[in-house]
Structure 1
Amino acid sequence: MTHADFSLDIEAVRSIEAVPVILSMVRHLTGMRFAAVARVTEQNWVACAVDDAIDFGLKPGGELVLESTICHEIRQHRQPVIFGHASSHPVFSIHHTPRTYGLESYISIPIIKANGEFFGTLCAIDSVPANLDEPAIAKTLTLFAQLIAMSLDTQNHLEKTKAALVDANESGRLREQFIAVLGHDLRTPLSAIRMSADLLETKTEDKRSLNLISAIRNSSTRMGHLIENVLDFARGRLGSGIPIKRQLVDDLGRVLRLTVDEVQASHPRVSLEHALVLPTGVYCDPLRLSQLLSNLLGNAVTHGSKEACISVRAYTEADEIVISVTNQGAPIPAELMPLLFQPFTRSEAGQRGEGLGLGLYIASQITAAHNGALSVTSTLESGTCFVARFPARFKWV
C-alpha cells in the first residue's frame, strides 16, 4: 500500500537517474538478488526503488512492518549492518528479522542527508548465504548511500530555489501590474490640474498668482514625464520591451529640435547648443526618439555642470543614425557605469535628485527597440557623453 505522505520521497528517489544503476551494482558486488532504497521513519518502512530477482514481492511504494525490519534499529544507531550467513551468526541466528523473512544474507547502509536527517537505507537481502567479508563491499555501498543522500539534498535545494523563483516572479508581476495601473490612474487627476492651471491663467493678471500658476504647470509637466516613464517601464517589463511604431520620417531633425526647445523653455538658465543634421526618410518612431532625447537631456541638466554648455548632436554615420548628448562636470564613478541603464538604480548608487531613475533605462530600451544601442563615456577632460546609435532606412536606399 502506498501512503500519500511518502509519494514525494518515492518521486525524489525515482528522479535520481543513477539509482537503478546503483541497485544493479549492489547486486553485482554482493551477489545478492534483491536490492532496494528504503524510506525509514519512526513509524514506516517504505520501498522507494527496488531491483528484485527473487520475487520478494516489494515494489516502489510497498511497505514492511517497521518493527519487523533491521532498518528500524539502524535508524536509531545509524551504523551499517552486514552479515552473510544468518543461521551461523551469533546474533542474527536468533534475530526475528532473518527468521521472519527467511534471510541468510543481509547488508544495509544508512542514508543520511547533509542536515543530519536520517532518510532511510540502501539495502540488499537474499535467502542464500553471500560472501560479504570483503571490506570494499561495505565501503562501496557506503559511497553509493552518500551519493543518494547528496542527490536528494541537491533536489531539495533545487525545488526550494524553483519555489523562491516562482514567488519572486509572481511578486514582480504583481508589482509591475500595480505600477501600470497606478500610472494610468494618475493621468486623470493630472489632466484636471493642468486644465485648472490653464483656466486660472485666463482669470487673473496678478503677477504673484501667475508665478504660482506657472509653478503648478511646470510641476504637472514634470509629473507627466514621471508617469510616462513609469508606464513605459511597466510596458517594457510586462511585455517584450517598449513598443515603437516605425514610419518614414522626413523631418526627424525638426522633431528633435522641438524637443531641445522644450527642454530649454523648462530650464531657461541652462545653456544648450545643438547641431541636428539628418536626412529625410528616416525609418523610426519620432515620438519615441523625442522621448529618448528628452530623457538624455533631462539627465544632463540634472547631473551636469550648471555653468557649462550642454551639446546635442544628431547625424548619420555609415548606415546609422547617431544622437549624442554631452555635458560637462564631474565624471561618472566607474562603479556606477554598469548600473546606468538599469531601472531604479539611483538610490542604490547613492545619488539624489528628481525622478525614479528610469530615464536612462527607458532611453536604452527605446534605442534597443530601434535595433540599436545606447553607450556612455565619461571623463573629466571630455565630459559625459551618451550616444544612441541605430540603423536607419532612407527613401533613396
Structure 2
Amino acid sequence: MKKIIISGGGTGGHIFPALAIANEIRLRYPQADILFVGAIGKMEMERVPAAGYKIVGLPIVGLQRKFTLSNFALPFKLLKSLAKAKKILKDFQPEVVIGVGGYASGPTLKMATRLGIPTVVQEQNSYPGKTNRLLSKSVSAICTAYEGLESVFPAAKIKLTGNPVRQELKELNLSREEAFACFPALNPAKKTVLVMGGSLGARTLNESVLFVADQLEQENVQVLWQCGKYYFEAMKTEVEGKKNILLTDFIARMDAAYTLADVIVSRAGALSISELCLVGKPTILVPSPNVSEDHQTKNAMALVKNHAAILVKDAIAKEEGLKTAFAVLKDKNQSQLLGSAIKAMAKPNASADIVDVIEGLVASRFIAM
C-alpha cells in the first residue's frame, strides 16, 4: 500500500484507533503516505500531528440535540465538507479510505464510495453511531469490536476484529512488586480497587469513592483513584488526611495500575472495555448516561451477558459502586470467574486484523483491475 486516508475523530475514542491503525500500516509499509482527514476545531487536529502524521480539516459540525442557530448552518457546512472531501480524494488518490467514526468520516467515506475507492469502517461500540450506520450500505467492509451487529450492518461486510489497544497493554509483564514500586504510597499487603473516570473524570465515580472513604480502613482496602483533571483540586480537598486513598488526575503507568488492581471500577467506553478485556481483572462497569444512544450501557451489556463484568447503573453508583467492588473482593470464586470471563473476550491483535482486512480490499481491487 502506498497511499491511505484515515478519517474521523472528535473524541479520543475515535482518534486512538485511527492512530493505532496508522501505526500498524506504517510498520508493514514504512514508505506509505498516510493522510488523516478530521474536523476543524476538534482534538484530532492537534493529536494527529503530535503523533507524526499529516492531517487536513473539514468544516463539518454535528447536529445539536437542543435547538440552536448553529443547526441552520449545518446543511451548508455539510455541502462544503463534501466538496472539500472530494477534492482531497482526487488530489491525494488513496488506494483505500478508512473511517473510524466522528463527524469528518461521513463526508470523506461518502465521497470515497462515489469515486469507487475501497472503504473500511471501524466501529468501536456494541451499538454503532449514526455516521457508521448511514455509511454501512455503501462501504466495502466493516470492522467491529462486538458480535451481534448483523441487525444494523450488512452481515456479509462484517469482520469481527476487536478494538486496537495500547501496545504496552498487550502483555502485562510487570510483577506486582514492580507495579507497586510505581505507586509507593500504596500498600502491597492490601487489596486494591482501581477507579478510572477517564481523562476528564466521572462525577458519579468520584462520589462513589467519597461515599466509602471512611470505611476503607475497616474493609482493609485501598483505592487507586484516577479522578480526572476537572475534579482533581476539589477531590484533593475532600480526601485530605484520609488514609487508604491515592488520588491522581492522570495515571501515566496504566500497565502498573492494571497489574496491581484486584478489582476495577470504570466507565464503559469502547476502548476502556477493550483494555479491560486484555487485563483480565474483575470489573464493575458504570456506564455514563451522558452519551449518544446510551451506547455505554450497550457496551457493558455485551460483557454482562457473558458473565464478564458487573453493571452498576449510574443512578445508584454513588452508594453501590464501591460497595459492589468490596463484595467482589470478598468472594474469591466470583473474582476468578469474572476475571476469566472478561479475559476470554480479549482481542489483542485487533490492529493487525484490521490492517489484514484493508490489505485484502486493496489487493482484490488490483486483481479486479
Shorter chain as normaliser: what TM range? under 0.3
- Work out which of the two has the higher radius of gyration on C-alpha atoms and give 1 or 2: 1
Asked which structure has the greater RCO (Cα within 8 Å, sep 6+), the reply is 2
Structure with the larger strand share: 1
TM-score (norm 2): 0.22
TM-score (norm 1): 0.21
